[in-house]
């Protein structure tokens, strides 16, 4: 599949970073969130690499079986991906030892697990018309690990159509390893943000909508003044959990601007066809 150009006004929330430029300090991740500690140990950081360059894609995933991680389709679709690694550490360490190169000399010693294979949903698509209503869909991906994860209970998949039964302003929990702090200077929106690799959580609400996205996406909004958080670059693929549970309603997908402000759209996984596809990796 060919790479596609992300629209400047419509942004997937994976982060593309040149490792030689990484700056790691006090990190925040999920916007207006708090450190996750051990509340969601089944949520992991994902690094995808083409095997040769200094660029990686950073995202988030959720363990749904000892060897299977659920993430976004745009984290797993690119045919140039040569390696995928995941870490379940709440403070995932990958270049803070000595080298700005991926992979580090001994990634396993830093808690990283290598993936055996990765897939995007068969009907995933990205890069359609330039209008906001027709550029991405079925944004679901799977990462199969080369060895089983032990000591972590996987999250739970939803029943088909669960989101349609939820009331307006239903609470959800957001978890991810993404960025929040923004450095001064120009460039691609995702490259202006720094500090990542720490698992954070926040609460948000599903905003009822009757627009063209409602069949495939949940619409969330962030308002720190009301104690609600949001998602940003690097949170792609992270779980949207029914509040107070380990039931996954969807995965973090995309936002409408480079400031990670306002509403975001999160891919529903309670769609029957998508659930059948996900479950095919669990049998």
pLDDT per residue as tens digits for the range 148-171 = 999 999 999 999 999 999 998 899
pLDDT for 283 equals: 77
Q: Which residues of 83-92 are buried (b: 16+ CB within 10 A; e: fewer)?
A: bbbbbbbbbb
Domains located in the chain, CATH noted: 11-279 (2.40.10.120)
pLDDT for 23 equals: 33
Nearest C-alpha neighbor of 137 from the set 161, 157, 158, 121: 121
Predicted TM-score of the model (pTM):
0.86
Q: Which helix (H) or strand (E) holds 38?
A: none
Dihedral angle over CA of 23, 25, 31, 32, nearest 10: -160
Q: Could you tell me whether strands 55-65 and 15-18 are parallel, antiparallel, or unpaired per DSSP bridges?
A: antiparallel
What are the C-alpha distances in Å from 215 to residues 98, 133, 199, 239, 271? 47, 12, 29, 18, 8
- pLDDT bin (cut points 50, 70, 90) of residue 95 is very low
Q: Within 10 Å of residue 11's Cβ, how many Cβ atoms?
A: 22
Cis amide bond preceding 132, omega within 30 = no
- pLDDT bin (cut points 50, 70, 90) of residue 184 is low
* Greater model confidence, 219 or 5: 219
Is the pLDDT assigned to residue 69 strictly greater than 70? yes
What are the C-alpha distances in Å from 257 to residues 18, 26, 76, 237, 265? 21, 24, 22, 18, 12
* Greater model confidence, 258 or 231: 231
Half-sphere exposure of 57 (CA within 13 A, CB side): 25
């Amino acid at each position: 599949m060919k790479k596609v150009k992300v629209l400047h006004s419509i942004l997937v929330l994976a982060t593309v970073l040149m490792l030689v430029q990484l700056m790691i300090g006090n990190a925040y991740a999920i916007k207006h969130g708090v450190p996750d500690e051990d509340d969601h140990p089944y949520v992991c950081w994902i690094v995808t690499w083409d095997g040769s360059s200094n660029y990686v894609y950073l995202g988030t995933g959720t363990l749904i079986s000892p060897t299977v991680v659920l993430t976004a389709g745009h984290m797993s679709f690119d045919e140039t991906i040569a390696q995928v690694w995941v870490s379940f550490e709440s403070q995932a360490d990958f270049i803070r030892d000595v080298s700005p190169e991926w992979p580090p000399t001994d990634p396993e010693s830093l808690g990283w697990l290598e993936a055996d294979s990765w897939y995007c949903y068969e009907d995933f698509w990205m890069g359609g018309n330039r209008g906001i209503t027709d550029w991405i869909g079925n944004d679901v991906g799977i990462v199969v690990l080369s060895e089983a994860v032990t000591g972590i209970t996987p999250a739970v998949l939803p029943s088909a159509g669960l989101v349609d039964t939820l009331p307006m302003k239903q609470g959800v929990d957001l978890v991810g390893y993404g960025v929040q702090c923004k450095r001064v200077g120009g460039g691609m929106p995702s490259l202006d943000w720094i500090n990542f690799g720490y698992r954070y959580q926040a609460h948000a609400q599903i905003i009822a909508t009757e627009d063209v996205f409602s069949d495939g996406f949940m619409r969330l909004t962030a308002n720190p003044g009301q104690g609600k958080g949001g998602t940003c670059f690097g949170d792609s693929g992270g779980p949207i959990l029914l509040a107070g549970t380990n039931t996954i309603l969807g995965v973090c997908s995309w936002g409408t601007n480079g400031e990670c402000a306002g509403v975001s759209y999160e891919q529903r996984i309670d769609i029957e066809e998508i659930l059948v596809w996900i479950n095919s990796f669990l049998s």
